[in-house]
Structure 1
Amino acid sequence: MSVTNASPAQAAQAAKSASHVLATLPASARNDALTAIHSILSSSRESILAANAEDMDLAKKAAADGQLSSSLVSRLDLSKPGKYDDMLKGILDVRDLQDPVGKVSLKTKLDDDLILERVSSPIGVLLIIFEARPEVIANIASLAIKSGNAAILKGGKESTRSFVAIASAISKALESTAVPNDAIQLVTTRDVIPELLALDRLIDLVIPRGSNELVRSVKEGTRIPVLGHADGLCAAYLAADADPALAARVLVDAKTSYPAACNSLETLLVQESALATPVFTTAARALLAAGVTLHADGPSKSAILASVDDAPTAQVVDVQESDYDTEFLSLDLAVKTVADLAAATAHINAHSSGHTDLILTSDPAAAEAFLAVVDSAGVYWNASTRMADGMRYGFGTEVGISTNKIHARGPVGLEGLMIYKYKLRGTGQVSLAYGEGEGQKPFKHEKLPLN
Structure 2
Amino acid sequence: MSEHDHDHDYDHETDRQVTEAQRAALKLANVDESERNAALNSIADAIREREDEILAANAEDVEAAEGMLERGEYTQALVDRLKLDEAKLEDIAGMVESVAEQDDPLGATLEARELDADLELYRVAVPIGVIATVFESRPDALVQIAALALKSGNAVILKGGSEASESNRILYEIIREATADLPAGWAQLIEAHEEVDRLLELDDKVDLVMPRGSSDFVSYIQDNTQIPVLGHTEGVCHVYVDSEADLEMAEDIAFDAKVQYPAVCNAVETLLVDEAVAADFLPGLVERYEKAGVELRGDETTREIVDVGAATDGDWRTEYGDLELSIKVVGDVYGAVEHVNENGSKHTESIVTEDTDAAETFMTGIDAASVFHNASTRFADGYRYGLGAEVGISTGKIHARGPVGLEGLTTYKYYLEGEGHLVASYSGEDAFPFSHRELDAEWTPGERSGE
TM-score of the aligned structures, taking structure 1 as reference length: 0.93
SS in 2 for 1:191: helix
Pick aligned residue for 2:145 from 135, 140, 145: 140
| DSSP-derived class of the 1:106 partner | strand
State the one-letter code of the partner of 1:296: G
Match of residue 263 from structure 1: 266
State the 1:222 CA deviation. 1.2
Instruction: Map residues 9-24 of structure 1 onto 2, 5 A cutoff.
Output: 9-24=15-30
Residues 1:368 and 2:360 are matched in the alignment = yes
For the pair 1:27 / 2:33, whether they are aligned, the reply is yes
Quote the offset at 1:26 in angstroms: 0.9
Query: Are 2:126 and 2:411, in contact at CA under 8 Å, matched by a contact in 1?
Result: yes
1:290-322 deviation line (CA, Å, top 9, x unaligned): 2212211111111114xxxxxxxxxx1011111
Q: Is the 8 A contact 1:108 1:446 kept in 2?
A: yes
Identity of aligned pairs, percent?
42
Give the one of 212, 217, 237 matched to 2:220.
Answer: 217
Match in the other structure for 1:150:
155
Q: Does 1:359 find its partner at 2:348?
A: no
Correspondence for 1:200: 203
What secondary structure does 2:27 align onto? helix
Match of 1:191 in 2: 194
Residues 16-55 of structure 1: pairs in structure 2 closer than 5 A: 16-55=22-61
Write out aligned runs for 1:306-345 (5 A).
316-345=308-337
* Aligned position for 2:4: none
- Residue 401 of structure 1, aligned match among 362, 373, 393: 393
**Aligned partner letter, 1:30:** R
How has the CA–CA distance of structure 1 residues 71 and 335 changed in structure 2, closer, same or farther, with 3 Å as cutoff?
same
Match of 2:301 among 299, 302, 306: 299
**Contact 2:271-2:326 within 8 A present in 1 as well:** yes
Q: How many equivalent pairs are there? A: 433
| Counterpart in the other structure of 1:310 | none
- Give how far 1:428 is off: 2.4
Partner of 1:311: none
Residue equivalent to 1:229: 232
Specify the alignment match of 2:289 in structure 1.
Answer: 287
Residues 5 and 392 of structure 1: CA distance in aligned 2, closer, same or farther (over 3 Å): farther
1:392 equivalent to 2:397? Answer no
* Aligned equivalents of 1:169, 1:246: Cα separation in 2: 44
Query: Displacement, 1:137?
Result: 1.7
Q: CA deviation at 1:48?
A: 0.5
Give 4+ residue runs of structure 1 displaced > 4 Å after superposition: none
Of 249, 253, 256, the match for 1:246: 249
Q: Does 1:423 align with 2:415?
A: yes
Question: Could you tell me how far 1:5 is from its partner in structure 2?
Answer: 10
Worse overlay, 215-224 or 14-23: 215-224
Residue aligning to 2:447? none
Which ranges in structure 2 are unaligned for 5 or more consecutive residues? Answer: 1-9, 443-451
Distance apart, 1:391 and its partner CA? 0.7
Residues 105 and 450 of structure 1 are in contact (CA less than 8 Å); yes or no, is this contact kept in structure 2?
no
SS in 2 for 1:101: coil
Partner Cα separation in structure 2 for residue 188 and residue 325 of structure 1: 31
Q: Could you tell me whether the CA contact under 8 Å between 1:211 and 1:230 is conserved in 2?
A: yes
**Is residue 240–residue 350 contact of structure 2 (8 Å, CA) maintained in 1?**
yes
Gaps of 5+ in 1: 306-315
Q: CA deviation at 1:6?
A: 6.3
Match of 1:442 among 428, 433, 443: 433
Report which stretch shifted further, 256-265 or 188-197: 188-197
- Equivalent position to 2:341, from 329, 334, 349: 349
Contact 2:24–2:183 at 8 Å: present in 1 too?
Answer: yes
Q: Which amino acid aligns with 1:383?
A: A
Deviations 1:54-99 (CA, angstroms, capped at 9, x unpaired): 01000111121122232222211112x7321111111000001111
Question: Letter of the aligned partner of 1:128 in structure 2?
Answer: T
SS in 1 for 2:158: strand
The TM-score normalised by the length of structure 2 is: 0.93
- When the two chains are superposed, the root-mean-square deviation of aligned CA atoms in Å is 1.6
- 8 Å Cα contact 1:244/1:283 also seen in 2: no
| Per-residue deviation, 1:400 | 0.4
Q: 1:251 to 1:419 in 2, by over 3 A?
A: same
CA distance in 2 between counterparts of 1:282 and 1:415 reads 43
Distance in 2 (alpha carbons) for counterparts of 1:5 and 1:56:
30
Is the Cα–Cα contact under 8 Å of residues 146 and 187 in structure 2 kept in the other structure? yes
Q: 1:70 to 1:220 in 2, by over 3 A?
A: farther
SS in 1 for 2:185: helix
Match of 1:308 in 2: none
What is the aligned partner in structure 2 of residue 411 from structure 1?
403
Report if the CA contact (8 A) 1:125-1:151 is conserved.
yes
Contact persistence 2:213–2:232 (CA under 8 A): no
The DSSP-based 3-state class of the residue aligned with 2:306 is helix
CA separation in 1, counterparts of 2:193 and 2:12?
11
Partner secondary structure for residue 393 of structure 2: strand
- Deviation per residue, 1:159-179 (Å, 9 max, x gap): 11101111111111112x3x1
162-171 or 182-191, larger mean C-alpha shift: 182-191
Kindly provide the amino acid, as one letter, of the partner of residue 425 in structure 2.
A
Tell me by how many angstroms 1:257 deviates: 1.4
User: For residue 443 of structure 1, what is the amino acid of its counterpart?
Assistant: F
The answer as to whether partners of 1:127 and 1:203 remain within 8 angstroms in 2 is yes
In 1: Cα distance, 2:89 partner to 2:214 partner: 22
